[in-house]
Structure 1
Amino acid sequence: MRNFRIISVLSILTSISAAIAAAAGIFYTNGGEPYFYESIRGKEVEIYGRGLYQHMSADVAIQGIAHDYVTLFIAVPVLLVSLYFLKRGKLKAVLFHAGILHFFFLTYLFYMNMGMYNTLFLLYVLITSLSFFALAITLFEVRFSGLKEKFHTDLSRKLIGGFLMFLSIAIALLWLEIIITPLLDGSIFPAAVAHYTSLTVQGLDLSLFLPLAFVSGLLLWKNKDLGYMMSAVTLIFLCFLLTALVAKIVAMAMTGVNVVPVVFIMPTALVLTLLFSFLLFRKIRSGTAAGAQTSSSIQTGA
Structure 2
Amino acid sequence: MKAKGTVSILVFFIVVLSTAATIAGIFSSEGPGPFEYETIRGETVMIYGKGIYQHMSLEVAPQGIAQDVVTLFIGVPILLIALYLTRRGWLRGRILLAGTLGYFFVTYLLYMLMCMFNNFFLIYVILTSLSFFALSLTLFSFDLDMLRTCFNKGRAMKGVSGFLIFNATIMGLLWLGVVVPPLLNGSIPLQVEHYTTLVVQAVDLALLLPIAFVAGVLLLKDRLLGYLLVPVYMHFLALLMTALSAKIIGMSILGTEVGPAIIVIPIINLTAIFCVIVIWKNINERAWVKIR
1:174 equivalent in alignment to 2:166:
no
How big is each residue's C-alpha offset from its partner over 1:184-226, in whole Å with a ceiling of 9 and x where there is no partner? Answer: 2332x10111111111111111001111111111111111111
- Percent identity over the alignment is 44
1:279 corresponding residue in structure 2: 278
CA shift, 1:155, in A, is 5.0
Q: Quick check: 1:32–1:49 contact (8 Å CA) kept in 2?
A: yes
3-state SS of paired residue (1:153): coil
Following the alignment from structure 2 to structure 1, what is the Cα–Cα distance between the partners of residues 207 and 287?
29
Following the alignment from structure 2 to structure 1, what is the Cα–Cα distance between the partners of residues 131 and 179?
30
Following the alignment from structure 2 to structure 1, what is the Cα–Cα distance between the partners of residues 17 and 97?
17
1:262 corresponding residue in structure 2: 261
Computed over aligned residues only, the root mean square deviation of the Cα atoms, in angstroms, reads 1.4
Q: Quick check: 1:90–1:286 contact (8 Å CA) kept in 2?
A: yes
CA shift, 1:158, in A, is 2.1
1:196 equivalent in alignment to 2:202:
no
2:65 corresponding residue in structure 1: 65
CA shift, 1:287, in A, is 4.9
| Alignment-mate amino acid for residue 183 of structure 2 | L
2:221 corresponding residue in structure 1: 222
TM-score (norm 2): 0.96
CA shift, 1:288, in A, is 7.7
3-state SS of paired residue (1:55): coil
1:295 corresponding residue in structure 2: none
1:243 equivalent in alignment to 2:242:
yes
1:28 equivalent in alignment to 2:28:
yes
Following the alignment from structure 2 to structure 1, what is the Cα–Cα distance between the partners of residues 140 and 287?
13
2:158 corresponding residue in structure 1: 158
3-state SS of paired residue (1:116): coil
2:90 corresponding residue in structure 1: 90
Following the alignment from structure 2 to structure 1, what is the Cα–Cα distance between the partners of residues 247 and 142?
34
2:252 corresponding residue in structure 1: 253
| Pair 1:196–1:285, CA change in 2 (3 A) | same
CA shift, 1:150, in A, is 1.3
CA shift, 1:277, in A, is 1.1
1:119 corresponding residue in structure 2: 119
How big is each residue's C-alpha offset from its partner over 1:1-39, in whole Å with a ceiling of 9 and x where there is no partner? Answer: 321111100011111111110110000110421011111
Following the alignment from structure 1 to structure 2, what is the Cα–Cα distance between the partners of residues 114 and 102?
18
CA shift, 1:91, in A, is 1.9
Richer in helix (by share): 2
Query: Structure 2: which 5+ runs fail to align?
Result: none
